[in-house]
Chains A and B, each alone.
Chain A
Amino acid sequence: MLKSKMANLKILPIPLILIVLAFATQFLGNYYLSILRDALMWMALAVSWHFFSGLTKYISLGSAAFFGVGLYFTAKFLPPSANPRAPYPILPLVIIVLLAGLICFAVALVIGLVTLRLKGIYFAILTFGVSMVIQYVLKWWTVKIEGSAVGSSVYPPAFDSQTQYYSILIAMLATLLLTTFLRRSKLGLALKMVGENEEAAVHVGVNTSLYKILGFAISAMCIGFVGGSYVTRVPYTNPDTAFDAKYSFLPAVMALLGGGGTVLGPIVGSITLSLIWSYLQAAFTTYFLIILGSILIVIVLFMPNGIMGIVEKLRSRLMGRKELTKAPKMPP
């Protein structure tokens, strides 16, 4: 009985949070709205990253590749409405973002096919390298093939702050729903098994390669969606800003901060870190990266299981006392 009550309590806040998020534009000023929007964006990235890398423990440092592809592709195919000589047919934003996600899916599929036998640090380096290669080749392409000047940018149309907020909110909800749903499916279980003991998974007949590639591609697709909807926020984009290495590192850092292996981990971690980030950036413009680096080291050194690890510990300490008195003495 206690358990079902607990479950009710856990579900109760979700509709509340959704309502608050849906009407946030009504009561938040532009500044706070932009902070919330960025927090949601990082949350979507951390959740997508965690879906593959958190579950399987194959650490990907290539999120920027998919984020950049999504963002750049969308920016490219969304010509400013003031430009009548747009070289491409004008499609609605939603369709372009979906297309961008599919492209990321395909790219990740190819990467996955050739690389997922690599493990640990090799996989991390490889994914990071892929993002660098796409960035530099795109740069070369814009200069040599399209003939633009070095360092030139693409200017997507400007959006008002409400559109910015809602497009990112929708992308976030979509990735959250998709990954939560898939986590409980056969795919999610297989991915989790890979993370816990890949050899055992192979032995009981799980086609780990298939699930790993699929999981990686879906995670990439979600990152592509987020990157695509982020186009509403940026005034301009070019290969250097779209493939910025921070889009690779921060999702991983946020998921680690929240605590790997839990559903809430990446959500808690990303919100915490992006709020700290916004605050520091506003308060200590020149020194905030020093503080951020120190926070990163402190997290790694003193919070190895993240925020959720600490919460777990506290909870087990609170609950544990009751259970300990009841539990029979176990032989050592």
Chain B
Amino acid sequence: LDIIIGGALWGAIYSLIAIGLNLEYGVTRILNVAHGEFLMVGAYVTWFFFTFYGVNPLVSLVISGPAVLVLGVLIQVIVFRRLVHLSASGEELEFRSLLACFGLMFIIQNVVASIGRLAKWPPGGIGTHYLYETIDLLGQRVQLNLIVAAVLSMIIGVLMYILLRSTRLGLAMRATVEDPTGAQLVGINVLKVHAVSFGLGALLSALAGSMLVMIYSLTPFSGPPYTYIALAVIILGGMGSFIGSLLGGFFIGYVYYTTLTIEPLLPMAIVYIFIIIMLIIRPKGLFGR
């Protein structure tokens, strides 16, 4: 029962991170390996406002999210827009943007670490440890913040789904995924859609980070594992598939949590073995087109 609850709660959070990564890749064709860094930045923003201004971590979701959204849009406009112009083929763009993302990863991690050093933030990592008490859930002791984070993740996920399905922006985004040239022909500003999608992906990651920092301590270098997990989720669910990310998130959440309880050293290996098997059998993912 511990596994069922734990897997579901972590699965919800992983889904949120993966939906963000999927949005970035699906629309812009940029596999953002610096995705976990946005998560970390979101966590730091939340922690900063909590520690120095006493802002409730849940309220500061409204601060950290938009802040990172702006960061994501800026990065997309400054770096990746030029890359799209430079690259002759889609594959070339994918590879070059992968390298650029690694550069970005180094920069973001070390900028935050340097600021932390200068400002004398705790070097061992930061955490808001908000709502740390445990409560009874179906006979299991579960941390309240984990439940809150999971429920909020799902709410944000549903909101994102509504945004994609029934707004003009969502329609434009889906059209761009289907056929960028066609979308441009019918008057969609593809450049703008790319920037907004990248920003929204970053925003989702940042929100997840803001919630994770209630549960765990994070350091400037805690981002990559979440990127790897999100990568596993979107490979499993299919790149560009919203439902795939959602269900894949829960699946990976269960796999990760189950392995963690049985054999604490192996979860990452198992997650990656899943990716490899998936890539060999069905590279498009379960719900990929």
Contact = CB atoms under 8 A, between A and B. Distances in A.
Nearest to A134: B269
Interface string A127-144: 001101100110110011
B174 interface: no
Interface in B260-289: 263, 265-266, 268-269, 272-273, 275-276, 279-280, 283
Contacts of A286: 114, 117
B111 interface: yes
Mostly, the B contact residues are helix
Interface stretch (B11-19, B89-97, B123-131, B133-141): B89-97
Contacts of B228: 132
Contacts, number: 116
A144 B109 CA distance: 33
Contact of B231 (A125, A137, A292, A294): A125
A122 B273 CA distance: 14
Interface string A105-128: 000000000110011111011100
A99 B104 CA distance: 38
Given A126-B279, A293-B103, A304 B86 contact: yes
Nearest to B263: A140
A286 B109 CA distance: 12
B79 interface: yes
B86 A126 contact: no
Contacts of B276: 115, 126, 129-130, 133
B95 A136 contact: no
B107 interface: yes
B211 to A, nearest CB: 26
Nearest to A59: B95
Nearest to B266: A140
B96 A289 contact: no
Given A121-B31, A293-B110, A140 B265 contact: yes
A94 interface: no
B103 A294 contact: yes
B121 interface: no
B280 A293 contact: no
B106 A292 contact: yes
A301 B99 CA distance: 10
B273 A253 contact: no
Given A133-B273, A300-B100, A293 B263 contact: no
A40 interface: no
Given A122-B279, A126-B279, A140-B263, A289 B272 contact: no
5 contacts: A129-B279, A133-B276, A136-B272, A292-B103, A293-B103
Interface of B: 31, 79, 82-83, 86-87, 91, 94-100, 102-107, 109-111, 114, 117, 228, 231, 235, 263, 265-266, 268-269, 272-273, 275-276, 279-280, 283
